[in-house]
């Protein structure tokens, strides 16, 4: 699944490129998409980035953001046209078409050559070409290697480097997850050598929190964080009403689950959020315990061993009960995890 040469051959001709990424894009999704877009534009391709949903304003500083088309009903016709015109569609930072909402059927039907660049497990076989490596710490790492392998390292300028660094930094949890290898630091070093402003990037991403988001966090930590020591498990539930009360915006709940995981003695954490049409769940774990297995077995989800997501069409309370009901099967494994 490392079709780098074939991807390079395809890019020898000027292409009309559409780049897309997963719903509620994070810094790796946007950083890889906009970093790749910046590079492809320099190579003379026509490029448009289309996201399945909007994303936090804290990512709007990424270079190329102004030209991103975020899907909503009123741009459906425009997006369909872009899909039809595209000769190449890059799918970044997701591995199955159900992760891109309304764009899924459009990508499936499109005539373009589809290229997957991703680090999630178990990719769906929809792409014609792929550069897929589940051991990569971030999709921006793969974009960085792709540009290098195509001999174009010199085309990585500061705006592109900032995009790539943003994804690498966030997907490694600021260089502390087990995915943080020597290669990760070597890539970071290469980018830092270009004189990107590292502390400013950290500040723009992490110290850029709206008061509404902070107040929601305060409320959640005070009132909604529950700990089940018998499972070394902590979790948070959020109703649609609570989200509304705190004027929650896209991305405001991002990272919240990590507070549950940070409780001492806890090895697995979850957040269950009522998004109206469905309950969205995020899982985190440490060590050997696989939340991917739990999410895919019980909650129509997937992801990585230590970070996974899922969904449920039950009510929020029923979903919570379901989760608590499956925990006994994992109790021994959880208690053995340190």
Contact residues: ligand 5GP, CB under 6 A? 22, 96, 120, 282, 301-304, 307-311
**To the nearest whole angstrom, how small is the minimum distance from the Cβ of residue 276 to Mn ion?**
25
Which residue lies nearer to ligand 5GP by CB, 22 or 114? 22
Q: 144 vs 151, 154, 164, 251, 256, CA distance in Å?
A: 11, 11, 7, 26, 29
* Cβ–Cβ < 8 Å for 301, 311: yes
251 binds, among ligand 5GP, Mn ion, none (CB under 5 to 8 A by kind): none
Which residue lies nearer to Mn ion by CB, 25 or 104? 25
Among 21, 34, 93, 112, interactor with Mn ion by CB under 5 A: 93
CA distance 71 to 52: 5
CA distance 129 to 44: 21
Which residue lies nearer to Mn ion by CB, 139 or 237? 139
**List of long-range contacts for 184-192, beta carbons under 8 Å, 24+ apart:** 184/137, 184/141, 187/141, 187/144, 190/144, 191/144, 191/156, 191/161, 191/164, 191/165, 192/165
Which residue lies nearer to Mn ion by CB, 55 or 235? 55
Among 11, 15, 28, 319, interactor with Mn ion by CB under 5 A: 28
303 binds, among Mn ion, ligand 5GP, none (CB under 5 to 8 A by kind): ligand 5GP
Which residue lies nearer to ligand 5GP by CB, 29 or 161? 29
**To the nearest whole angstrom, how small is the minimum distance from the Cβ of residue 275 to ligand 5GP?**
12
**To the nearest whole angstrom, how small is the minimum distance from the Cβ of residue 310 to ligand 5GP?**
5
Is residue 254 a contact point for Mn ion (CB under 5 A)? no
Which residue lies nearer to Mn ion by CB, 139 or 285? 139
Among 68, 127, 171, 184, interactor with Mn ion by CB under 5 A: 171
140 binds, among Mn ion, ligand 5GP, none (CB under 5 to 8 A by kind): none
Measured from each CB, the residue nearest to Mn ion is 28
b (16+ CB within 10 A) / e for 145-163: bbbeebeeeeebeeebbbb
Sign (positive/negative) of CA torsion 52, 54, 55, 59?
positive
282 binds, among ligand 5GP, Mn ion, none (CB under 5 to 8 A by kind): ligand 5GP
Site residues, Mn ion (CB under 5 A): 28, 93, 139, 171
């Amino acid at each position: 699944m490392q079709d780098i040469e074939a991807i390079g051959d395809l890019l020898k001709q000027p292409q009309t490129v559409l780049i897309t990424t997963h719903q509620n894009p994070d810094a790796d999704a946007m950083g890889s998409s906009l970093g790749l877009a910046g590079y492809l534009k320099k190579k003379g391709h026509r490029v448009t980035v289309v996201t399945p949903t909007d994303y936090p304003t804290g990512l709007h500083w990424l270079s190329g953001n102004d030209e991103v088309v975020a899907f909503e009903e009123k741009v459906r016709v425009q997006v369909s046209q872009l899909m039809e015109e595209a000769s190449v569609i890059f799918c970044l930072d997701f591995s199955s078409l159900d992760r891109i909402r309304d764009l899924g059927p459009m990508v499936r039907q499109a005539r373009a050559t589809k290229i997957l660049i991703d680090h999630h497990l178990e990719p769906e076989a929809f792409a014609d070409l792929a550069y897929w490596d589940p051991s990569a710490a971030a999709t921006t790492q793969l974009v960085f290697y792709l540009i290098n392998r195509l001999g174009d390292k010199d085309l990585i300028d500061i705006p592109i480097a900032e995009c790539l660094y943003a994804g690498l930094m966030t997907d490694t949890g600021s260089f502390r997850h087990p995915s943080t290898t020597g290669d990760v630091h070597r890539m970071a070093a290469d980018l830092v050598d270009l004189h990107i402003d590292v502390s400013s990037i950290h500040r723009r991403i992490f110290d850029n929190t709206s008061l509404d988001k902070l107040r929601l966090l305060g409320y959640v930590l005070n009132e909604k964080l529950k700990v089940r020591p018998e499972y070394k498990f902590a979790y948070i539930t959020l109703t649609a009403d609570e989200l509304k009360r705190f004027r929650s915006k896209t991305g405001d709940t991002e990272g919240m689950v990590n507070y549950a995981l940070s409780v001492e003695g806890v090895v697995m954490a979850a957040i269950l959020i009522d998004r109206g049409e469905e309950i969205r769940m995020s899982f985190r774990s440490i060590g050997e315990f696989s939340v991917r297995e739990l999410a895919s077995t019980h909650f129509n989800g997937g992801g990585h061993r230590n970070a996974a997501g899922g969904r449920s069409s039950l009510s929020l309370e029923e979903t919570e009960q379901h989760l608590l009901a499956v925990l006994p099967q994992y109790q021994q494994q959880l208690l053995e995890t340190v």
